[in-house]
Amino acid sequence: MTRTEAPVELPVVLTVAGSDSGGGAGIQADLKTIEAGGAFGTSAVTSVTAQNTRGVQGQHLLPIEEIAAQIEAVREDFDVAAVKTGILATSEVIDLVVAEAGDADDLVVDPVMVAASGDRLLEPEAESAYEALIAESALVTPNADEAEVLTGRPVETPADAEAAGHDIVGMGADAALVKGGHVAGDEVVDTLVTDETVTTFRHERVETDATHGSGCTLSSAVATRLAHGDELQDAVAAGVDLLARAVRYNLDVGEGSGAVHHAVEARNEAARYDTSEAVEGVVAALTDRGVRPLVPAGGTTVAGATPYAETPDEVAAVEGRIARVVDGVRANRGVRFGASTTVARTLIAAREHDPAVRFAANVRLTDAVEAALDDLGGSVGDYDSAERPATVPRDGTAAWGVGQAFETGAESPIAVVDRGEMGVAGGVVLLARDPETLVGRATALLEAVEDGE
């Protein structure tokens, strides 16, 4: 018996760029990002580089007719929904792309001129040739250094970035996204400029040198969203968010600075089921054990974050909490993402200090529980909600308090104690890197409390 095929239709994205033998940037980064974004990636290789995380050791430009043949082969066979460019190297190649792909509805131009290592990837005489390509583009994505080359103006502040964006739009581009990674400041401010609007995207800066492939990944992510039919601002917002996560959870590869995590969102999404199952396992273990002495009057929330979670919506939790009943405890409902607020915020805040922490559960704060915490064999941090600064909103208490708790210990705490404030009871949140450890800590805490009764 033969099986019936089930073809899948995906939008097609064409990347015209150089090859990176180190796999972190160039064609390799583009195709990884396009595939992770749910599109089909095709390519035309412009140059072959010998490079790794430490730098570029060599670069070989392919013959112009070979580059043209690749573009023609793709476009005559595939319904290309979006095109993005990377290393083009010479004015001749740029002119070719204008001729062969300039008519694309969604052309994203990443004007790659210098590698993150500082190695030059564009001949100086080719800089002026970019003007014709920019005039055909839906979006140009220069970093601050590239924007300076294209516009002739220094880009040292977000205001400078906005002015440079207007200049690029004035060259004929539909829009310009001037990236803020090279602009000093605690925040990375990316500035999107069109004829009618200016939109800024802000992310806290991640202290890392592992940004290899960041420009390629962002432009590919935006092109992929455009290929799916997103509006420009939505596509850019999605690309910027993906890059912020990809930089924070970068790939520790090579002897140099490492690369951004091109498939971080796809991997995070794929882990949702296993994370939910793990939380359900913890809930079952705790209810079977009968943890009634640990459950607060408002109930216990068990929560689990996906591996690269950044928001409470990426935290799975028992809906309705584990509640005390006459003969023990009971989980009111099932597990879903976004079901928790306070414990989820605490868990996300803890991950800012220790990203390996993925699971949490809140328990009662009593003298017996606090005494038993000291015997769990780990650091315990605490904070006093009543001392929350006036500048911190009430819904920011968890983030502020967890920061205080992490500062008081020499290592990542296994529990965070909130001593409460007037009219609000205190509590304890147990933290763990895996579900088994969370169950073990809760069980050990329960046994110590029971032994003391």
- Domain limits, the chain: 12-263, 271-452
What is the tens place of the pLDDT at every residue in 342-366? 899 999 999 999 999 999 999 999 8
Q: How deeply is 377 buried, as exposed, middle or buried, from its count of CB atoms within 10 A (0-12, 13-18, 19+)?
A: exposed
Looking at the predicted structure, is the pLDDT value of residue 81 above 90? yes
**3-class DSSP state for residue 17?**
strand
User: Tokens 């911190």 correspond to what residue?
Assistant: 392
Distances (CA, A) of 128 to 90, 107, 133, 160, 355: 10, 19, 10, 21, 44
Distance CA(96)–CA(79), nearest Å, equals: 20
Distance CA(139)–CA(137), nearest Å, equals: 5
Q: Are 342 and 425 in contact (CB under 8 A)?
A: no
Task: Work out the pLDDT band at 126, boundaries 50, 70, 90.
Answer: low
What is the tens place of the pLDDT at every residue in 290-342? 999 999 988 999 999 999 999 999 999 999 898 888 788 888 889 999 998 88
What is the tens place of the pLDDT at every residue in 184-241? 888 999 999 999 999 999 999 999 989 899 999 999 999 999 999 999 999 999 999 9
Confidence (pLDDT) at 130: 87
Task: Work out the pLDDT band at 119, boundaries 50, 70, 90.
Answer: low
Class of domain 271-452: alpha beta
Q: Which helix (H) or strand (E) holds 274?
A: helix 272-289
3-state helix, strand, coil in the chain (%, to 5): 40, 25, 35
Beta-bridge mates of residue 362: 429
Q: Which of 100-114, 156-170, 301-315 has the lowest mean pLDDT?
A: 100-114
Name the nearest CA neighbour of 180 among 198, 205, 163. 205
Give the single-character DSSP code of 119.
-
Looking at the predicted structure, is the pLDDT value of residue 453 above 60? no
User: Tokens 């977000």 correspond to what residue?
Assistant: 158
Residues 6+ apart with CB under 8 A from 75: 14, 100, 101
What is the tens place of the pLDDT at every residue in 393-448? 887 888 888 898 888 766 899 999 888 766 567 789 999 999 999 999 999 999 98
The alpha carbon of residue 378 and the mean position of all alpha carbons in its chain are separated, in whole angstroms, by: 30
Distance CA(223)–CA(198), nearest Å, equals: 20
Confidence (pLDDT) at 407: 83
Confidence (pLDDT) at 317: 96
What is the tens place of the pLDDT at every residue in 24-77? 999 999 999 999 999 999 999 999 999 988 888 888 999 999 999 999 999 999
Distance CA(78)–CA(223), nearest Å, equals: 16
Confidence (pLDDT) at 55: 85
Confidence (pLDDT) at 364: 92
Distance CA(322)–CA(317), nearest Å, equals: 10
Tokens encoding 180:
């803020």
Name the nearest CA neighbour of 165 among 188, 129, 189. 189
Give the single-character DSSP code of 314.
G
Q: What are the backbone dihedrals phi and psi of residue 31, each rounded to the nearest 5 degrees, phi first?
A: -65, -40
Looking at the predicted structure, is the pLDDT value of residue 117 above 70? no
**3-class DSSP state for residue 98?**
helix
Looking at the predicted structure, is the pLDDT value of residue 124 above 90? no
What is the tens place of the pLDDT at every residue in 270-283? 999 999 999 999 99
Name the nearest CA neighbour of 339 among 276, 403, 273. 276
**3-class DSSP state for residue 143?**
coil
Looking at the predicted structure, is the pLDDT value of residue 285 above 90? yes
Name the nearest CA neighbour of 294 among 382, 369, 376, 370. 369
Distances (CA, A) of 33 to 213, 223, 245, 266: 10, 10, 13, 9
Q: Which CATH superfamily is domain 12-263 in?
A: Ribokinase (3.40.1190.20)
Confidence (pLDDT) at 184: 81
> If you average pLDDT over residues 375-402, what whole number do you get?
85
Distances (CA, A) of 367 to 179, 353, 443, 449: 52, 28, 17, 10
Task: Work out the pLDDT band at 120, boundaries 50, 70, 90.
Answer: low
Task: Work out the pLDDT band at 392, boundaries 50, 70, 90.
Answer: confident
End-to-end CA distance of the chain: 67
